[in-house]
Structure formats: structure tokens, C-alpha cells
Structure 1
Amino acid sequence: MNPALNVARPYMPRPGVRQAPAATFPRTRRQRLRIWWQEIDRVLLVLVLLLMAIGALSVAAASPASARRLSGSEGTLPDLYFFYLHLRWQFMGLVVLIGASFLPLQVIRRGSIILTGLMLLALVLVPLIGFEVNGARRWLNLGIRFQPSEFLKPVFLITVAWVLSWRLRDPDLPVIGVSAGLLAVVIGLLMLQPNLGDAILFCGAWFVLVLLAGLPLKRIGMLGGAGLAALIVAYLTYDNARHRIDSFLGGGTAYDQVDLARRTIMAGGWTGSGLWLGRRKMMLPEAHTDYIFSVIGEEFGLLVCAMVVLVYLVIVLRVVQRMIGEDNLFTLLSATGLIALFGGQAFINMLVNLQLFPSKGMTLPLVSYGGSSTIAQCFLVGLLLAITRRNPFLEREPLPGMERPL
């Protein structure tokens, strides 16, 4: 027998015969939930929930100070007013967090580009129709009150990650210049509010991304010099920057606030004075938001403050460890940008409370009270959980060339 006759021939449908569609395997809601639970970083999720629990207890401790300060002598607000509101924001944030963690990477990329455009438009509207709180015009009221810069942070970093990942297609594309142009637009809009703290945070997270994308050493020095020059120019021409830097160096209202925050955090010693037994917190201007870390120090002690720092540090290291061996540059840059944003804001807030950094009006992520900030931070963490999802049965190896800068 001719061996060629034994070769299997591919099936060819007869003309005019309608073929049945390929078999599909629809997943039920329970199956999708089971897959999500297997792929999600459960350690990271537990750490985030622990941080939110610490936040709820901390806002309960700080709420009487802020409620009495805002009520004045009339005492119209109950002591736990901000605590009850914070629980509501936390519940809404958890819904956003879990929902975002189900999103596929392609949806995250496309949605982030669209949301970046919408939030930039909202930032343009802030100086025109926004309302002012504590001397800064940062909020919009379009049926709901929100702070556009808070929601811009995560989606902008993902958009920048997408732009920088173009280098894999064409190394000659000016991706760093394009991303720097986007950053300049954001910084310009933030300075109109004024919002120096978020401007610095955006710059820091962007710098981390361009370093990871393979910024040459020569350009690193150039960017460092440009950053120093921009800070000097801001000090000479921008009243908000000059006021905060002068206050940090000594004198002024802002200096008094951070000095009071430092003395408050030290007042509790190693073990703290106990829940609702702190006294110095009653003098803090924003005990439930900007200076909540000081309230933790006074009422729960320096040991608990160290534990909070450790939780943030472990979250950052957990994401970094999760990205080891990642073969998708966009995924790597997105996760790194988000965790740099999250960790950077946390440590800046804590440094301000310790009088080691100028006052920025920046909350402690997932701990401080806030509507926009709580939901935006939960959205950020949800995106981070979605990006770091991994099939536990697949081993990931870096692509050739990924071990060196691209």
C-alpha cells in the first residue's frame, strides 16, 4: 500500500452545506467567581482590607476632633459624624474595588485612555465652575461632588504606561517626549487649583515609569536638573509653593500645623493614650484627613504607627514581587506606576506628619476620611488587583531581552 494514501486529509465542507458553529463553553457567574478567586492576589487583598479596617478605627478616633471643630460652640455634629460617613464611603469603595478587579487588561487600557480624557476635561472646568474648600479650588459638583485629580491619578499612569510600551513596536518613537507632554498638561492644570502636592506625586510616578522603560543615564541627569530648575521657578513665581516651602523651613500657619502634628504623634508614646483619650488631636485642623497618622500615634502609639508603615511597605513589595517574570511591558509599567502612586502618597503623608516634608494637603490612602479619595484609592487598588491577576497553573518566563532595559 502506498504510504501517501494513509495521510489524513483535512475535512473540506461541501459547497452549500451550512456548518454548525464552533462549540462554546459559557461560564456561569459562579465559575467566573471561582476563576477570579484563583487568579486574584489574595495576600494583597487581605492587606488592603486590613488597611481599610485600620482606617475605619482611625477615623473613629479622629472624628470627635473634627466634628467639634466644625460644630463650634453649638455642637450640632455628633462626635462620630465622620466615622459613620466614612463607613458609607468605604462600602461604596469596596464595591468599586471588587468590580474593578474583574476587568480584563484590554478593558483597563481602553477605559483608562477614555477616563484620562474625561478627567482632563474636568480639570479644565475646575477653575471655571469648581468650588473652593480650605483655600483650594479642586472640586466639581456635576450632580455629585468629586475631585477630578483623584480619579485622574490611576488612569493617567496607565495611559502613560501604554504610551511607553510603544517602544516595543518601534524603538525610535518619541514615547518619553509624548508622555512628558501629557504630564506637562496635567501639571499646568493642577497648578491653577492650586494643588502642588498632586503635581509632585504625578511627577514622581511618571519618573519611575520612564526609568523602568529604559531612560538613558544622560537623560536621567537632565531630568533631575530640569526638576530642580522647575522647583526654583515655582518658588520664585508660584505663591502656593513659596508659602509651603517657607513654612516648612520655619514660621507661618503651615509650619505650626505640621509642628503640632509631630508633637501629637509623639504624645502617645509607644503604646498610646487609648481610644478617645487623646487631647492634642483636638487642636489639629484636619485630624480625620491630612493628619490622621498623628491621631494614630497619640491614641494607639508609635508601635501601631510602625505597623501601619509596615503594611504599606509589604503592599509595595508584594506588587513588585508579583511583577517578577512579567513578560508584558504594558502590564509591568501599569502595575509599577499604580503602586508608585499608592506608596508615594502614603509615605509623603507620613513624612508630613513627622515634620520631615512640607505640608501638601494629601490624605493617607485607604486610612484617611474622604469621599473622592476613598473611592479613587479603592478604584486604584481594584485596577492593581486586576492587573496582577495570574493563572496559578501557568509559569511565566520573561521574553528575550526583558532582563535588560528596553
Structure 2
Amino acid sequence: MAGYSRVDASGIARWWRNIDRVTLGCVGILIAFGYILMLAASPAVASRIGASRNMFIFKQVFFLALAGVIVLATSYLSRSGIRKLALIGGILALGATFMTLVHGIEIKGARRWIALPMMSVQPSEFLKPCFAVITGWLLSARRTKVLPGNIAFPGLLLAFGAFALILALLKSQPDIGMLSVITMVFMTQLFVDGLKLYFVGLGVAIMAGAFAMAYVVFPHVQSRVQRFLHPDVGDHYQIDTALRAFGNGGLLGRGPGEGRVKDLLPDAHADFVFAVAGEEYGLLLCCGIIMIFALIVLRTLLKLTREDDPFVIVSTAGLITGFGLQAFVNMGSTLHLIPTKGMTLPFISYGGSSAISVALTIGMVLALTRHQVGRSDIGRYRDVSYNDQSVLERNAQ
């Protein structure tokens, strides 16, 4: 693809010239790490539950391959295409999330999954990217005078209505972790959209009160917070085992296949895959994974400083906040920096719903931040012929 001419008018050539290839490359590296760590962690987990040793590997090969295709296909869409995709996907995800309350699979007291052939789906995973784009759309449209009587579009009110609906659904499952992430995404978007600081402070106070109420109402939340704050309270087997794995790995790790944590933790291939990376490949690989996630987030935020479309700025800020928070929650809970929360590490942990949802998120980010060719860009090509210049002008239009 590097050989495409700057005046090549084909859609793929224009996509390749304007896409953020650094972020796309980082996604490819994370998917490669996902394959490597799934080969390391999943056979022991599958054997422990009496399944074929390669069951999780075969499934994740398919999930990650599909995730890669979704990233590429979604990044090819126009900005209006992203809006339509988010609207349709959001409606379907809301309906499916409601269905979990009626026909969902109950696991550990929560109804978050719908059973499908060969896999289970967590619909709330798809609410994150779709909600971020829809909210960005509504907030950017609220400055438009579109209603009779020169009345502004009630985008802010509709955004709060959508958030309240999602809040009610996730509380009913219950899924406090997912609700916390979506709440942070929404607060970030409101702040980026220009919410005054005293309203930000009020929002933070409301969130703190909501978390305190969750601590009182939900026993599993209380248990996790208590175990995090008081090492002598409750069962600390999983987190203690994960921390020992990091210590055993040291700087360079014990070597591929030599780790023991995958034989001891039931979720070594999912929630605690970062501990497997630390034990078998060491501190250096863990730091590399953290740097890749940080590069994707920071590079996207820096690109937004050069953007002037409010829809792109607010939507992308929400998308990349959700992506970064998910990575932080997984790695932070594995390292006992925050209370444990069952959240996957993007592109690395096992899980079909998570892989596809994260792929949709990054695909949307790449599509929204893709450079839009305008007339100011045409003048840069001073060495092209008149005919080629005409091609560029037609493309810009």
C-alpha cells in the first residue's frame, strides 16, 4: 500500500493516505499479543474445565480475525456512515440489553449475557461505542437552530435521556463496572463539549454519591471494596496469585509456557491475562503493552487538537476515553491498584463480545480522525499536472 501515488483517486488509496497508520499498526501489535497470550493461557484453563485444550484458541483466532476486519471496514466509513452505524447499533444494543433482563443467562447473580450457538454475547459491550457517537452527535447538534420558532435542537436533554435509560438497564442487570465506564465517558464528553467547571464538580459529587449508594446496596461491590482496602478481609487468592506471578516473572519473564499462574487462576485467559504476560514475558513486555495503549490514547487526543468539527471532537473523546478506561481497569485491578473488576484487556483478553466491541470502537476512532481532504490540501501538490489537479478537486468535493 505504501506505493500508492498521491494522485491515485481510488477509494482504498485515499483511505490509506488519510488513515492514522500509527494507531492502525498499534492495533495490529495488540492483536498479535492477543494471539500469543491466548496460546500461553487458554490450554490450561480449557483442560481444567474438561474442554478441549484448543477450544479457547480456535474461538479467539476467529474473534480476533473478525475484530481486525471490523477495524478496517469501520475505519473506511464516512463520518455520516459512522453516525448511521452508531444509531442502528445503539438501538439494537439497547434492545438486546433489555432482553438480558428477561431471557439472559444469570452468572454470579447478574444477567448480562444472551446465549447464542457456540458463544454468549454481552450486549452492553456494544452500548459503549454507540452511546459515545450518539452523544457526540446530539451534543454537537444542540447548537443548531432547526426547530420552528428558531429554537435550538434539544441535544443535551436527549443525551441525558439516553444516559438515564442506559443507567436504568445496567443497574437492573446489575453491571456497576460497565455503568461506571459509560458514566465516565458521558462526563468526559460533557466536559469537552464546554460544560462549566462548577457543573463538572457537581457531576463528580453525584458520581461519588452514586458509588457510595452502590457500596451500600450491592453486596458484591461492598465485598470488592472491603477486600481492596483491608488485606485481612475476605478471599484474596486471585489477586495474591496474580501479584506473585509478576514477582516470579521479573524483568524478562520465566519464558514462553513456563508460567504457573495460568494453572491456578480460572480467569487467567480473560481478566488476569496481564498476569500471564508478566510471569512468562516479564516487566519489559508489560511496559510495552502499557506504552501501546498510552500511544493510541494520547495520539488520538493530540489529533483532536487540530480538529474543528464538534461532532468529531466530542464523539472521539468519548470513544477513546472508554477504550483507555477499559485497559486501565483491567491492568489496574490485576496489579491491585483498584478494586477487582471483571473487565477484559482490549484485543488481548479472551472474549468475543469484547473483541468485536473494541474493534468497533477503534474503527470509529480511525474513521472520525481520518484526514478529510479539502481545497487547502490541493495546493500542496505543486508537482502534479492539470489533469491530476482536477482529479484532486473532484475528490475534495
Tell me the TM-score normalized by structure 2: 0.86
Q: Deviations over 1:79-108 (max 9, x none)?
A: x43222211111111222211111111121
Are 1:65 and 2:65 matched, yes or no?
no
Q: State how far apart, in whole Å, the 2-side matches of 1:39 and 1:394 are.
A: 15
Shift in Å, 1:391 = 3.9
Letter in 2 for 1:147: Q
Counterpart pick for 2:52 among 77, 80, 85: 77
In structure 2, the residue matched to 1:280 is 261
Counterpart pick for 1:252 among 234, 250, 258: 234
In structure 1, the residue matched to 2:133 is 158
Where 1:325 maps in the other structure, the secondary structure is coil
Range that drifts further, 332-341 or 172-181: 172-181
Q: State how far apart, in whole Å, the 2-side matches of 1:126 and 1:343 are.
A: 26
TM-aligned CA distance change 1:394 to 1:349, over 3 Å: farther
Shift in Å, 1:176 = 4.1
Q: State how far apart, in whole Å, the 1-side matches of 2:375 and 2:339 are.
A: 46
Q: State how far apart, in whole Å, the 1-side matches of 2:239 and 2:18 are.
A: 43
In structure 1, the residue matched to 2:295 is 314
In structure 2, the residue matched to 1:98 is 72
Where 1:138 maps in the other structure, the secondary structure is strand
Shift in Å, 1:168 = 2.7
Q: State how far apart, in whole Å, the 1-side matches of 2:261 and 2:88 are.
A: 45
Q: State how far apart, in whole Å, the 1-side matches of 2:56 and 2:371 are.
A: 38
Q: State how far apart, in whole Å, the 2-side matches of 1:342 and 1:199 are.
A: 14
Q: State how far apart, in whole Å, the 2-side matches of 1:368 and 1:236 are.
A: 31
Are 1:188 and 2:163 matched, yes or no?
no
Range that drifts further, 322-331 or 180-189: 180-189
Shift in Å, 1:209 = 0.6
Across the aligned residues of Structure 1 and Structure 2, the Cα RMSD in angstroms comes to 2.1
Shift in Å, 1:373 = 0.9
Are 1:51 and 2:30 matched, yes or no?
yes
Are 1:331 and 2:312 matched, yes or no?
yes
Are 1:390 and 2:362 matched, yes or no?
no
Where 1:53 maps in the other structure, the secondary structure is helix
Equivalence map 1:176-215=2 (5 Å): 176-215=156-195
Letter in 2 for 1:155: C
Range that drifts further, 266-275 or 109-118: 109-118
Q: Deviations over 1:129-179 (max 9, x none)?
A: 011345432111366742111111100110111111124326976644432
Tell me the TM-score normalized by structure 1: 0.84
- Larger CA Rg, structure 1 vs 2: 1
TM-aligned CA distance change 1:392 to 1:169, over 3 Å: closer
Letter in 1 for 2:68: L
Where 1:369 maps in the other structure, the secondary structure is coil
Shift in Å, 1:218 = 1.4
Unaligned ranges ≥5, structure 2: 1-7, 146-150, 378-397
Are 1:116 and 2:90 matched, yes or no?
yes
TM-aligned CA distance change 1:299 to 1:395, over 3 Å: farther
Where 1:301 maps in the other structure, the secondary structure is helix
Q: State how far apart, in whole Å, the 2-side matches of 1:175 and 1:228 are.
A: 26
Q: State how far apart, in whole Å, the 2-side matches of 1:142 and 1:103 are.
A: 28
Alignment size in residue pairs: 362
Letter in 2 for 1:252: G
In structure 1, the residue matched to 2:385 is none
Are 1:263 and 2:244 matched, yes or no?
yes
TM-aligned CA distance change 1:207 to 1:229, over 3 Å: same
* % identical aligned pairs: 36
Q: State how far apart, in whole Å, the 2-side matches of 1:98 and 1:77 are.
A: 32
Q: State how far apart, in whole Å, the 2-side matches of 1:35 and 1:98 are.
A: 14
Are 1:381 and 2:362 matched, yes or no?
yes
Q: State how far apart, in whole Å, the 1-side matches of 2:69 and 2:153 are.
A: 39
Q: State how far apart, in whole Å, the 1-side matches of 2:28 and 2:112 are.
A: 28
